[in-house]
Each structure stands twice: as C-alpha cells, then as structure tokens.
Chain A
Amino acid sequence: MSSVLQLPWQVPFGIFTLCIDPLNIIFLIAIAVLVICAGVYGIGYMRFYQGKKSLVSHVSFYCIFVLTLLVIVSANNVILFLSAWEVMTISTFFLIIFNDEQESVRKAGFIYLVASHCATFCLFLMFFLMAHTAGSMNFDLIAKTSFPPMIAVTVFLLSLAGFGVKAGFLPLHIWLPHAHPAAPSHISALLSGIAIKMGIYGICRILWILGVLPDWCAYLLLGIGVVSGVMGVLYALGQHELKKLLAYHSVENIGIIALGLGVGLLGRNYHNSLITVLGFGGALLHVVNHAIFKGLLFLGAGSVIQQTHTGQIDRLGGLAKTMPLTSSLFMVGSLSICGLPLFNGFISEFLIYFGLFQGLFMLPLQGAVFCSLGIIALALMGALALACFTKVYGIVFSGEPRFDLKGEDPGMLMIIPMLVLAGLCIWIGLVPQTMVILTFLAGTYMSRISYFAVDLNIVMVPLSMVIGMSFLFLSLILGLVLLRRFMVGRKDMPVREAWRCGFTRCSPKMQYTSSSFACTIVEFVKNLLLVRSHGEEIKGAFPNKISLGTSVHDASDENIFRPLVKAMFVWSKNIDAGRVRYTQMYLMYIFLFLIFLLAWKLT
C-alpha cells in the first residue's frame, strides 16, 4: 500500500492515512464512474421535486456519502475505516428516506438502519480482535502479522456476518428489497452499485489481511455465493415491482461475486495461482461490471417510474414505442446482467467459469466437487436471469400499453449518464483487456503472488475467441435481416399485434402478466419461495368475474427475522412486566451505582 494523503487527526489510535493499492483502485474506479453518472442523472431526476421539497439536505448527504465511500475504500486505519463506515450508513439512511411522507419509506429506512448497526457491531468485534492480536490499528501493519488459526477463523466469520449484511448475502439481505424501491432511483443505483460493494470490499480486505485460512472457509464462501445467487434470481423472478426485482438481482450478483471470491480462496489454499487469480480477478471485475450495468438498469427503471409514476410491472407495457432511447439502453443493461457475450457481464462470468473449470481439472476431489457445483449454479443463475429480464423487458417495453400510462424519453441530463454507462458496458464487453489486466493485478495482490506468475494468455486467447465468435454470429444474423429486407423489397407488410395466439378480439389486458410469465419457473420451487396465490380458480364454463394473483414472499424475512423480532418483543415485554416502576427505585439504582463507582475507584 502506498500512502497518498496524510492529515492530522486527533482521535485515539486513529491515523488519517489514505492509501492506494491494486485492490482498492478497482473499487475507486467503480465509485468514480457511478457516482458521477448517478449525480448527473439525479439533477434531472430531482427536478420534479423542485419547489415541493427541500433538496439541500439531499444534495449535502449525497456529497457526504460520496466522500465517505472514498475514505472507506482508501482508509489505512481501523478507526478511520469504522468512522467513515458509520457516517456512510447514516448518510445513506437519509438518502433512502427522501420521500419520508410515505410510511413504507420510513419503514425501509428503519430496517436498513437496524440491519446496518447490527452488522457494525460484528465489525467492531472483528476489527478490535484483529488489532488486539496484531498490536496495531493500521491495515498494512495488521497484514504483516500471522494470525493464529482460531483467531483467523473467528475474524473471517465475523467479517462474513458484518460485511455480509451490507453486501446482502442471502439470509442477511432483508434490508435490500425494502430499501432499494424506497429510495429515489439514482440513490437505488448507488446503493446497489456501490454501497453493497463496500461489504465486498471489506471481505476482500480481510481476505488480503488473513493470508492463511482453512479450506472450509473457501467452501463456505462458495456455498454462500451459490445460495445467494440462485435464491436471489428466483426471488427476482417472482417480483412484480421493477425496483424490487432489480434489488433481488443485486443479491444474485453479490452471489456471483462471492462465488468468485470463494474460487479464488480455494485456489489460494491449494497454491494454484491461475485459479486464484481467475477467481479473485473475476469477482473484482464483476464488482465493476455490476456497478455499471445495475446502475444503468436502475437509472432506466427510474426514467420509467418518473414518466409513468408507477413501478408495477403489470401496469406498464409497450413503452418501447414511446420511450425508444430508454428502452434500448435498458436492453443493453439487461443483456449485460444476463451475462451474454459482447457485453460486460459475460467477461467477468467467463473468468469465474474459467476458474471453476480449471479447478475441476487441477484440484483434488473435494475441490472439484465444489467447483462443479459452482459451475452448475452459475449456469442456472445465467439462465434464470435471462428468463427474468425477458419478462421485464417483454412486459414493460414490448407489447401494448395495458393502461393509459405512456411516457416520453426523459431529458438529456438523464439520458446522457445512461448512455455513458451503456457505452462502458459495451466497451468492457468488446475490449476487455484493460479491465481484465487491472483486476488480475488486484487478484495477484490479494493472494500475494507475483503478477508475472500467471500467464494472461491462457485466459485472454479463449476469451477473445468467444468474443470473435459471437461477433461472427451477430453479423450472420444482421446479414440475414439485411437479406430479408433485400428480398422483401419495399412491399407493404401487414402489421399484426404480438401475442395474438389466434384470438380475434384481443384487448391489451390479455397480454402475459409478470405472474403468468414467471409461473412455470416459480411454481417449480414454490416451497422455497413462499409463493402465495390470492383469489380463486376458474370453475365452470361461464365463470363469474374473479381475480387471481400470486406473490412471492421472502422466506428469510418471514421465517427467520420476523419470528426473531417477535420473540425479542415478547422477551422485552416480559422483562418490562417484572420491572418495579416508581421514581424512587430509579433513584436508588443511580445511588447504588454511584456508591459502587466510588468504592471501585478507591480499591
């Protein structure tokens, strides 16, 4: 780590030192790109509120948020890190509750605040345990100590719990689907693109500090990745609200990143530098990629919501005709998040796939089994994500409008940031060399091996081959389209509605809804997802007017955290009932404590 900025700071054990190293530069890139784009977009987005609400606090919390992000990533001191972390949590809270006149928004903010503070408790324990063992509060000095195995494992588990809440690992993700829809769209983009990545950054930093970890830690990380990824995308498939759906996709992508980190850790344990670098590098590249395409998707969703004033997928439809720019930019984001070639999501997933396949061949049996599990899970995630975004794009942008909700493309202030992000998606997708080399540098740095220990060409050659092949395939399709144009000539072609299915009198309301589209997949795993249907089945030849809908509920929310909170309420009520309440009793507690303090100080 090379220090770049040192400022005087009068805090016990705290040193204000900012450092740059190959690991945090990746995160700095992601922050810089998304913060600027979301900021410019926000100017356009918040114009709607001008004169209705004070924007001063929003803008100032935005600036504080950005500043703390930069400090968190580059801090070289535990106290500095934790202070910035707390300030970030609080400023994010105020950004989320911008529309605080709605009760759901206040509730979402509260859930976020409680979850974050529970997580920070774990972080305090973890950092102080580390600092106590190392005898220093500075990361570069802590990294030089070798930790006893018990402490290393405890630190690792605490970091998974503490940073996992921020990152949104599966059972701990409950704040995400509440907070993302509640916040203004550019804030959701930042939350999903950057704020949850701070959890990933923390885990990366801990992996860098703890040079040696037992094997099962790698399997645990891999398992967390698989579970978060698959469950995240399944939950996403069952959602009917645009931003909530995107929020669950964040859980999925965090799963992919965790999977990559697990592969990297596995490689590091088996001293296989190629797998290590592929895993860590792929995960870090996915951090950047996810920030870019998820930012793009949230900004696109924000444009839709701003124009139509609803995020309910089933109320929208046919927006591609009235919002051509937004819809094509959303398409770019969707293709990227599905991990299709020529877009950036593919590159990072390819690296992780490649690492997993290498693991399949080069690791002993146990590792190979987990690697094959990872491959299957990653493939499943990709396919389900494709289904999910087909649903979103198909229902929101194609087809016919269901209700009288039409929008236009928003102004240039909102379009240009999305254009920039889409351009970056395609740039990384087509010319991945720069970013891949940067992330490999970080990967080698994280596993403390020489950059030259890994031959880049082993990956880059097949990667460029795949990109070339998909390019060929694309040009083939384009050629066929042109050929059709040429053959058909300028003849008038009859225009028909899509999804007509042989009916003669169709209404736009007879289109597929998001429930019906996802039904086949969601029904398949309905026990995991807590699918509930409202309304009744159709019976008889001439049924009356009935309604039917399904909704997917979060199992970890309903089966773990709500019972937990309820039990805590009951418990504290019981304590409360047994309490003696009159003023003199409280005074006596104070009195006894005073006497205790006096006696304790003297002896």
Chain B
Amino acid sequence: MTTWIDASCILIVFFSLSILATYRIVGMIQIYALQSFVLSLMPLFLHAGNVSSRDIVLSLGTMVLKAGVVPFILFWAIRRISMRSEIKPIIGLGSSIVCGALLVAGAFWVSMSLRIPGKAAADLGLPCSLAVLLLGFMIMVTRTRAVTQVLGYLIIENGIFLFALSLFDSMPTLIEMGILLDIFVAVFIMAIVLNHINEEFEQGPDPEKQVKPREVF
C-alpha cells in the first residue's frame, strides 16, 4: 500500500508542476480536477488495505467536492463572464518550471530535517505536501488573472489536505476543517462571479486601477 501512497503523492506534485507549465486556464482547471481526484483516493490506501466506511465517505466527499463541484463552478464562471482563456504569467513558463523544480527540491530538503513525531522519516507524504503548498503559492505569485489566484489557493488547500492525510492515519477534526476550507473556497469563487472580475489584477502604479483588487481581498 505504501507504494500506492507514494505514487499518488508523486502524481500530485507532478500535476502541480504541470499546472505551472500550462498556458490555458481550461487546461489548468482540468489538471486541478485530476490532482484532486488522485488526492481523494488517498484515504483508501492509508490503512494498509483495510478500508473502513469512514474512509470511503471521506474519499467520496472529497472527490465530489474537489474533482466535481469546484472545477464545475470554475468552468461555469469562465464561461459566464467569457474571459480570455490565456493566462498572463509574470515570469515565463520555462523559468516557472525551473523555479518550481527548485521549490520541490527545497521542500524535500526542508522535510529531511523536519522531525515529525510518530512517523517514518522515509515517508513521501510530508515533502510532497510541502512541495504542493509552495507550488500553489508560486502560482498565486506569478500568475495575474483572478481565476489563477483561486486556482493557486485551491492547490495550496490540496497541499494542506495531503499534509493532514500523510501525518495522521485518521484525524477527523483536521480533515473536517479541510472540508470547511473547501466551502470557503466555493464562496470565494462565487465572489469572483458576483464581482465580475473578468480581467487580470492590474499592475503598475496607476492609482485609479488600484481599486478593484482591494475590493476583492
């Protein structure tokens, strides 16, 4: 079963990296849905083959919410406000991937010296979750569209979810908090639709254009 866990961890990091390398928003959302789908399978592998009903409920809940509802809302949002479908990165895709790779390496390096009580040091869950978290942050920093901000946030949230799963075999409160966070994200997405942000966050020192992002955050 550890193989499965490690495999899905690596897949999740890989998907985060490929979001960083994607140029179109639709593609990003699709990859996010895939990543969430893999993540939602994780609870089934946790107890070495003994799948309890609780795990199934958790897995199904995550799958529906993260791989179903959230991408659906995002797709609906971009269709509704008919945004341009290209992202507008601050740094180019190539250098984004290089930076992302460096961040993944950094996450592994950090988690080598991070001692978590009660866990085997060789586990891939901890470094992968850190890497996903950092990559999500990086997406928020380097992409300027409103939707990419939300996507970055969702990926960070996935990282937190993975962190919780890899640390504890069953941690009801933390996971429930994760689901609460999902609901918050849903509200966040609705806020975008309602505010009709169909362009990127403005840059530069033009003071008149500063108003919009402040209204959102």
A→B interface (CB under 8 Å): 580-584, 587-588, 591, 594-595, 598-599, 602
In the assembled complex, B137 has its CB within 8 A of some CB on chain A: yes
Cα separation A599 to B111 with both chains bound (whole Å):
11
A582 close to B141 (CB less than 8 A): no
B144 close to A581 (CB less than 8 A): no
Q: Which residues of B contact A595 (CB under 8 A)?
A: 106, 134
Please list 24 pairs of residues, one from A and one from B, whose beta carbons are closer than 8 Å in the complex, sorted by A's number.
A580-B205, A581-B205, A582-B201, A582-B202, A582-B203, A582-B213, A583-B149, A583-B201, A584-B140, A584-B144, A584-B201, A584-B203, A587-B140, A587-B141, A588-B141, A591-B134, A591-B137, A591-B138, A591-B141, A594-B137, A595-B134, A598-B110, A602-B110, A602-B114
Given A583-B149, A602-B114; 10 other pairs, CB 8 A cutoff: A581-B205, A583-B201, A584-B142, A584-B201, A587-B140, A588-B141, A591-B134, A591-B137, A595-B106, A602-B110
In the assembled complex, B173 has its CB within 8 A of some CB on chain A: no
Cα separation A595 to B134 with both chains bound (whole Å):
9
* Count of interface residues, chain B, beta-carbon cutoff 8 Å: 22
Cα separation A583 to B212 with both chains bound (whole Å):
11
Q: Which residues of A contact B210 (CB under 8 A)?
A: 581
Q: Which residues of A contact B201 (CB under 8 A)?
A: 582-584
Q: How far is the CB of A578 from chain B (nearest CB, A)?
A: 10
B137 close to A602 (CB less than 8 A): no
B→A interface (CB under 8 Å): 90, 106, 110, 113-114, 134, 137-138, 140-144, 149, 201-205, 210, 213, 217
Cα separation A525 to B141 with both chains bound (whole Å):
63
In the A-B complex, the 6 residue pairs with the smallest Cβ-Cβ separation, listed nearest first, are A582-B203, A588-B141, A587-B141, A591-B137, A583-B201, A602-B113
Q: Which residues of B contact A602 (CB under 8 A)?
A: 110, 113-114
Smallest Cβ-Cβ distance to B130: which chain A residue: A598
Cα separation A588 to B137 with both chains bound (whole Å):
8
Q: How far is the CB of B160 from chain A (nearest CB, A)?
A: 13
A583 close to B217 (CB less than 8 A): yes
Smallest Cβ-Cβ distance to B203: which chain A residue: A582
Q: Which residues of B contact A587 (CB under 8 A)?
A: 137, 140-141
Smallest Cβ-Cβ distance to A590: which chain B residue: B137
Q: Which residues of A contact B204 (CB under 8 A)?
A: 582
Q: How far is the CB of A576 from chain B (nearest CB, A)?
A: 10
Q: How far is the CB of B23 from chain A (nearest CB, A)?
A: 18
Q: Which residues of B contact A580 (CB under 8 A)?
A: 205
Cα separation A581 to B214 with both chains bound (whole Å):
11
Cα separation A587 to B217 with both chains bound (whole Å):
12
B141 close to A584 (CB less than 8 A): yes
Smallest Cβ-Cβ distance to A599: which chain B residue: B110
Smallest Cβ-Cβ distance to A603: which chain B residue: B113
Cα separation A582 to B141 with both chains bound (whole Å):
10
Q: How far is the CB of B192 from chain A (nearest CB, A)?
A: 14
Q: How far is the CB of B203 from chain A (nearest CB, A)?
A: 4
Q: Which residues of A contact B114 (CB under 8 A)?
A: 602
Q: Which residues of A contact B143 (CB under 8 A)?
A: 584
Cα separation A591 to B133 with both chains bound (whole Å):
11
Q: Which residues of A contact B138 (CB under 8 A)?
A: 591
